[in-house]
Amino acid sequence: MTRLILIRHGETRWNLQKKYQGHANPGLSATGKKHVRALAARIKDLGIDGLYTSPLKRARQTAAILSAKTGFKPHPDARIKELNFGNWEGKTAAELIAQNDKNFRSWLEGQWKTPKGGESLAELNRRVRAFLKDCVKKHKGKKIAIVSHGGPLRMMILLALGLGAQAFFSFGLEPATFLILNLDDFSRSQIGRLRALQG
């Protein structure tokens, strides 16, 4: 069985302002760093065997704090970057509604719409699925920490549960929290059977 410890990066100023971050690169806030330091002690106690991170700044800073506690060097992987939100990045939901962005209104209704200049959820699905497949194959029977973002982490959970597309909008992780997936199988349609513990 492979245990994946899914970690959302710490809080940024844009999180507080409720702005879409996507591929934009804000760093952790002072509060975000404090929360990640507290999280690091809990992750260390889990006895991990490796550490992956999104290459975006907020994830790399989170992984660096975890690395200092665990001793594991973070391995960046672009497949677990946040969804590219295109022209939504740096804007709040209120701003996008005021601009009458039709794709955004559809997004709020739970539809898989792509922001102008951004990435589709189908594209996110493909890259996250490829990452999970490689990770489970390479680290069979290990405990692997993965520092990523709301979108990719939701997708990992969706894939693990074998849920449909609409479920993507049904759950999420707060900054500097984690969730554990115990994966004991892999197939094209489903990453594995899930037993999850909220951190």
Averages of pLDDT over each 10 residues, the chain, 199 residues: 94 96 97 96 93 98 96 97 97 95 87 90 91 92 96 91 78 92 60 36
Pairing, β 75-76 against β 2-8:
unpaired
Q: So what's the pLDDT on residue 76?
A: 98
DSSP string, 109-135: TT--PPPTTS--HHHHHHHHHHHHHHH
Q: What CA–CA distance (Å, rounded) separates 161 from 107?
A: 22
Each residue of 94-120: b (16+ CB within 10 Å) or e? eebeeeebebbeebeeeeebbbeebbe
Verify whether residue 9 is a known catalytic residue: yes
Residue 117's alpha-carbon distances to 8, 26, 114, 124, in angstroms, are 25, 19, 8, 14
Contacts of 134 (CB under 8 A, 6+ apart): none
Q: So what's the pLDDT on residue 188?
A: 42
Q: So what's the pLDDT on residue 186?
A: 52
Q: So what's the pLDDT on residue 109?
A: 82
Q: So what's the pLDDT on residue 198?
A: 33
Has this prediction a pTM greater than 0.85? yes
Q: So what's the pLDDT on residue 187?
A: 46
Which tokens go with 42?
Answer: 């809990």
Catalytic choice (82, 89, 119, 149) = 82
Could you give the 3-state DSSP secondary structure of residue 163?
coil
Output phi, psi for 144, to 5 deg.
-120, 125
Q: So what's the pLDDT on residue 195?
A: 35
Give the domains, in start order, of the chain with CATH numbers. 2-198 (3.40.50.1240)
Contacts of 71 (CB under 8 A, 6+ apart): none
Sequence-ordered strand ranges (E) for 9-91: 50-53, 75-76
Strand order from edge to edge, sheet including 178-183: 75-76, 50-53, 143-148, 2-8, 178-183, 196-198
Which tokens go with 109?
Answer: 């209704």
Verify whether residue 75 is a known catalytic residue: no
